Amino acid sequence: MDNDKLIKEAKVAMEFSYSPYSKFKVGAALLTKSGKIYTGCNIENASYGATNCAERVALHKAISEGEKEFIKIAVVSSSNDLTYPCGICRQVLAEFMPKGQLILMNQQEQIKVFDMEKIMPFAFKLDEDTMK
């Protein structure tokens, strides 16, 4: 699937953003290995810690529907700058799509594509030794 379709889906998702506090809208579209696309938008809360990012909304929707393997994710926002995932989202994405791609686009339609390994090179991982 080409990146343009994923970006278009992320733009649509951004319109559903619930961001009354920051006015900062974010949309994400996640492509699964099975070919399905799951979208998400940022959802703010007056208790800021309860806010959820667009990337995790899309990922959690997909996981709750049985998906576990992901190819790439597109992220767009209302910002003039590219909107990189926060640290929490990078960690979550690194667990589910360590070999995937991150596609970013700003309001001027500047697009950049990154390998997740470059965005989160030293992601935290649990292994059998850690669990002992």
Q: What domains can be seen in the chain, in order of their start residue?
A: 3-131 (3.40.140.10)
The count of C-alpha atoms lying within 13 angstroms of the C-alpha of 94, restricted to the half-sphere facing its C-beta, is: 17
Amino acid 132: pLDDT: 59
Of these residues, 9, 15, 55, 65, which one is catalytic?
Answer: 55
Q: Has 55 been annotated as catalytic?
A: yes
Which residues make up each annotated binding site for Zn(2+)? 53, 86, 89
* Lateral strand order in the sheet of 111-115: 37-41, 26-32, 70-77, 101-105, 111-115
Cβ contacts of residue 60 below 8 Å, gap of 6+? 40
Regions of the chain short of the pLDDT cut 50:
none
- Cα three-residue angle 72-8-50, rounded to 5 degrees: 70
